[in-house]
Amino acid sequence: MSEYILNLLPLHEGEREEFESIAPEAVHTYARSSTVTSEQLAAATVIFGWPRPERMKEAVSLRWFQTMWAGTDEYVGMLPEGVLFTSSSGSNSRSVAEHMLTGLMAVCRRLPAYLDSQRAHVWKDEGPMKTILGGTVLVVGAGHVGSDFAKLCQGLGARTIGLKRTVSGPVAGFDQVCPMDQLDALLPQADVVALVLPHSPQTAGLMNAARIARMKDDAILISAGRGTVLDQDALAAAMTAGRLWGAALDVTDPEPLPADSPLWDVPNLLLTPHVAGGMRLEITRRKCVEMAQENLRRYLAGEKLENVVKL
């Protein structure tokens, strides 16, 4: 049976031909998530891209689906039974890591306060600043994004510690890698705590009031995984009471952040609306395309695919 490949990726000139050269015997169809038809979904044996989860029940012939995002939780329970599911984990790691570093440096230099002063036309020295040179950066989630962020921090002279569920050896960017159960012991040592965890029953509420209280009084918190990992009210209360140097959050729970959330008014807290990743950098888009092409080669050759998601 020939494959019917439904490609919903944001392709540029020449990239359709690249896919077709990998699978010349397949039927290739191209669309956008917003325009894909029920007929196309029903015929597809392979799908690349980001179809809306609620429409996946229409993909009755589907054998393999690769989402163009690293996050996969929105598809849990939405795919036909027996479908092989892969992600694009790692495609946007550089983008998110750079955004995290930008937020970290902005908070170290009190740029949120200086921007407020600029808007108010006030010339005011906000006092001492921070550097991560010689400091300890604790990354909770030593995956692709955590690794890239840790490399950037190492380049600025920080010591990096990564936490992950299973430690099987060294991870690029980290001076030390520890299991997740070491979180409470390591929090008091960290000058920066970076959360880059996916949402799951195990991670929801992980960074609670008790753990925020274990952080140094002048530590910085970065969150760029999923907003459910962090107790936002506890963070706002701690910072309003004068604890922590600052925070930079790219993710919240819920999203968009409600207008009455106390986070909006916390001094030296930088908020961005979940824009660290996505397809905002060309290197991310191209990496996503290349990952789909590599997995297509593997799929047709009967080899093990990369980034398989366990449903």
User: Catalytic site residue 274?
Assistant: yes
- Within 8 A by CB and 6+ apart from 10, the residues are 279, 285
Structure tokens at 84: 């092989």
Which residues touch 24 (CB under 8 Å, ≥6 apart)?
A: none
Say whether 185 sits in a helix, a strand or coil.
Answer: helix
- Contact criterion met (CB below 8 Å) for 285 and 10: yes
Number of H helices, E strands in the chain: 9, 12
For residues 146 and 172, the answer to whether their CB atoms sit within 8 Å is no
Residue of 12, 17, 52, 255 marked active site: 255
Phi, then psi, of 143 in degrees rounded to 5: -95, -150
Judge residue 168's burial from the number of C-beta atoms within 10 Å of its C-beta, 0-12 exposed, 13-18 middle, 19 or more buried.
exposed
**Is residue 199 annotated as part of the catalytic site, yes or no?**
no
Active-site residue 74, yes or no?
no
Q: Which of 274, 286, 290, 306 is catalytic?
A: 274
Q: Give the active site residues.
A: 226, 255, 274
